[in-house]
Amino acid sequence: MKPSQKEWISRLVDGLLPVFATLAALLVGAVMLLFLRVNPLQAYAALWEGAFGSSNALAETLVKATPLLLVALGICISFRGDVINIGGEGQMIVGALLAAWLGLTFTDWPGWVMIPAAMLAGFIGGAVWGGIPGFLKAYFNVNEILSTVMMNAIAVQLMNFLLRGPMIDPSQAELASKIPQTARLVEAFRLARLAPTRLHLGALIAVILAVLVYILLWRTTLGYRIRAVGQNPHASRYAGINVKRHIVMALLLSGAFAGLAGAVQVFGVNYRMITDGSASGFTGSAGFNGIVAALFGQLHPIWSIPASVLFGALLVGANSMQRAMQVPSALITALNGLVVVFVVSSEIWRQRRQRRRLASAPETESSPGSGAASPESAEEAV
Amino acid sequence: MDFIIIFQAGVATGTVLLFATIGELLTERSGVLNLGVEGMMLIGAMTGFSVTVATGNPWLGLLAAMLFAGLVSQIHALITITLHADQVVSGLALTFLGTGISLVLGEGLSKAGTVALLPSFSVPLLSQIPILGPVFFTRQSILVYIGYFLVPVTWYFINRTRPGLHLRAVGEYPAAADALGINVHGMRYLYVFIGGMLAGLAGATISLAVAPGWFSELTTAGQGWIAVGLVIFAQWDPVRAAVGSYAFGALRRLILDIQGPTVLFGFANPFYYNPYWGFFLQMLPYAFTVIVLVIGSREAIRKRLGSPAALGNTYIRGERGL
């Protein structure tokens, strides 16, 4: 059935809601900037310039967006399975630690062997760190939101221990300063640069994986089951799906992508691990901001790509804003929160319109592709 | 290592968790899950400290902390109660928002130096009781004593008063409560506000009494999340919440003290000779939270206890279900 003109408009509005949410957040941010006695227009100009002003700036934005996208892909999987993974930070750290250990131990491997192996190590490290809360949720009924947060804190201390103890750069171990960092990876192991900037192969890997995650979620049995369990665990159980196993799988896969993000960060950007004692010192809070990006992309892997670029731009731009206007870059943390606030608040209007559409023409609802796949349209697909 | 000192300090640091846990407990009893405790605590810690720096009066700081955190919590109330949005996502957003706002407004506050703190004192007579006296009633902050009152008052309020009955009704079966003429939405707004104020009080307890100062995110160091976990362990009971909070406080102090002495229980102290092992001690509060959650969740299944039945659900008048 051909959708009416009115329906097209309402779909367009649905699609643009995140844009409105961002604008609203920037508006509130402007009020905060005024409160800090900073001209918001100048500040936002500095932000834009820092994020997109030159090819280097654009590359930095994409470098920042890469871990966000990888984490967001994992979040798409877990949130679709109704499992809330707040443990991206810890999973990134553990994935990075395992990958870094591999890269620093087997220095004689050829690069084409090491790089896939290291990515796999990151994947596995994150999967273990995500799988533990998944197991505890499935079999011990432990709230995964809390256990993943706790696993973050545990991972930070593990990193601090390893980088000061067993994994410390041997040359640092002899110095009095003892900077808690590993040795540098050999040149052959570093992810190739895509342009004469810091942009590296990881960005491409992330985009390819976004397509693969889309296929996983909507074209495979595993993805179908994870979504089914997320929509209605009881119905899924009666349909013969092993609910517990798919809860574990959702968190395990989610953690794996975050772990991969950590490995990419080590092999593509820093070439070593270094800690300032906090999680964000290594991750740049990508484990949290990836959640924001995924929610902004309506938990759809493909829509998560532009969402990650947007938040990457905000993060990079915030740094140049800080330099130019002396605005604390933590303002972006608040802005991220505001964006989510406005995105979830606008849900009610979308739901209301959807209900009205359902009431007026129930048969048109079965047609696929009603904008980005929201949880509601996922329900139809299931 | 002196266990009296560990427990004494444990009660003091545990008071932070106590306020946050009781606040979240009341919010959850009304059927609203607010995961933004960490953000509201940071708001409270920052506001309390900066207002005290500006005015020199820690009581004003405390009041401002509670009001500002309560105000921020109303964003969550508006989104989840009136706009029917997902409570988990909104709570996360509140954490980001609270963290961001407090870091921006708290910029430079870490160099503010020392300020007037809330008074500490010993209670005459009670402090003479062996063991209990030094642990609970000697040189504690006034906030610690307020905490002692808060626990029984909250228990009595929830279990023995009419407004407490209404609170439970709203959290267990809002449709029935609505039919009885209880203002479900109004009650939920109120208890989200109370939860926010207590989270703000918890934050100010850190910055004005327990560990004075502003150390950005490290001020709370994840205690807001531990509080949310303790609510589950406490099974929504204020007395169990108090036991859990003080135990966690003592654990935090024990971790600090265990690294000091050269000899521990007659053996060479491994944490003294291998300082890097201390990082494993730092993991303990978080690992313990996970263990506590396992215990709490198992017990809940065994005793057929559960969370408030309507926890996490939006109440929309006239819709089927809760």
Residue A170 sits in a domain of what CATH number?
A: 1.10.3470
- When scoring A137, A142, A162 by the number of chain B Cβ atoms within 10 A, the one with the most, hence best to mutate, is A142
Given a cut of 80, whether residue A140 has pLDDT beyond it is yes
Given a cut of 70, whether residue A21 has pLDDT beyond it is yes
> How is domain B3-302 classified at the CATH fold level?
ABC transporter involved in vitamin B12 uptake, BtuC (1.10.3470)
Position A262 scores a pLDDT of: 97
Q: Which residues of A touch B110 (CB under 8 A)?
A: none
Q: pLDDT tens digits, residue range A58-70?
A: 999 999 999 999 9
**Residues A58, A194: contact at Cβ < 8 Å?**
no
Position A379 scores a pLDDT of: 39
Position B299 scores a pLDDT of: 78
Percentage helix, strand, coil, to 5, in chain A?
75, 0, 25
Interchain contact, A335 vs B100, CB within 8 Å: yes
Which residue does chain B place closest to A143, by CA atoms?
B293
Average pLDDT for A221-235: 94
Average pLDDT for A307-315: 93
Position B30 scores a pLDDT of: 95
Interchain contact, B290 vs A347, CB within 8 Å: no
Q: Which residues of B touch A160 (CB under 8 A)?
A: 279, 282
Given a cut of 90, whether residue A325 has pLDDT beyond it is no
Average pLDDT for B94-101: 93
Position A378 scores a pLDDT of: 38
Position B265 scores a pLDDT of: 75
Nearest by CB: B96 against A154, A327, A333: A333
Residue A366: pLDDT band (50, 70, 90) is very low
Q: Of A353, A343, A351, A380, nearest to A6 (Cα)?
A: A353
Q: Of B102, B149, B158, nearest to B123 (Cα)?
A: B149
Interchain contact, A153 vs B229, CB within 8 Å: no
Q: Where are the alpha helices (DSSP H) in A81-143?
A: 88-105, 111-140
Residue B126, min C-alpha distance to chain A (Å): 38
Residue A55, min C-alpha distance to chain B (Å): 29
Q: How many A×B Cβ pairs under 8 Å?
A: 143
Position A2 scores a pLDDT of: 58
- Assigned token pair, B296: 């709490």
Position B228 scores a pLDDT of: 92
Q: Of B172, B186, B190, B192, nearest to B34 (Cα)?
A: B192
Residue B233: pLDDT band (50, 70, 90) is confident
Q: pLDDT tens digits, residue range B132-185?
A: 888 899 889 999 999 999 999 999 999 999 999 999 999 999 999 999 999 999
Please state, for a pLDDT cut of 70, what percent of chain A lies above it: 93
Query: Dihedral (C-alpha) B38, B43, B44, B46: value to the nearest 10 degrees?
Result: 120
Average pLDDT for A107-128: 95
Average pLDDT for B299-306: 73
* DSSP letters spanning A27-63: HHHHHHHHHTT--HHHHHHHHHHHHHSSHHHHHHHHH
Position B316 scores a pLDDT of: 84
Position B223 scores a pLDDT of: 93
Mean pLDDT, chain A, integer? 88
Angle at B170 between CA B76 and CA A86, to 5 degrees: 40
Position A361 scores a pLDDT of: 60
Q: What is the largest CA-CA distance in chain A?
A: 75
First to last CA, chain B: 52
Q: pLDDT tens digits, residue range B270-296?
A: 777 777 888 898 899 899 889 988 988
Position A370 scores a pLDDT of: 38
Position A372 scores a pLDDT of: 39
Given a cut of 80, whether residue A3 has pLDDT beyond it is no
Average pLDDT for B223-244: 92
Q: Is B294 on the interface with A (CB under 8 A)?
A: yes
Residue A277, min C-alpha distance to chain B (Å): 10
Q: Where are the domains of chain B?
A: 3-302
Separation between Cα atoms, residue A68 and residue A192, nearest integer Å = 19
Average pLDDT for B108-113: 80
Given a cut of 70, whether residue A369 has pLDDT beyond it is no
Average pLDDT for A346-375: 59
3-state secondary structure of B35: coil
Given a cut of 70, whether residue A376 has pLDDT beyond it is no
Say how many domains are in chain A. Answer: 1
Query: Using CB atoms and an 8 Å cut-off, which of residues 80-99 of chain B contact chain A?
Result: 83-86, 88-90, 92-99
Query: Which residues constitute the domain of residue A38?
Result: 5-381
- Assigned token pair, A115: 């790089």
Interchain contact, A150 vs B83, CB within 8 Å: no
Position A57 scores a pLDDT of: 93
Given a cut of 90, whether residue A255 has pLDDT beyond it is yes
Position A177 scores a pLDDT of: 77
Separation between Cα atoms, residue B244 and residue B234, nearest integer Å = 7
Average pLDDT for A165-184: 86
Q: In this predicted complex, what is the ipTM?
A: 0.86
Given a cut of 80, whether residue B90 has pLDDT beyond it is yes
pTM: 0.89
Position A86 scores a pLDDT of: 92
- What is the distance, to the nearest Å, from the Cα of residue B193 to the centroid of all Cα atoms in its chain? 14
Interchain contact, A337 vs B88, CB within 8 Å: no
Q: pLDDT tens digits, residue range A267-304?
A: 999 999 988 888 888 998 899 999 989 988 889 999 99
Position B11 scores a pLDDT of: 94
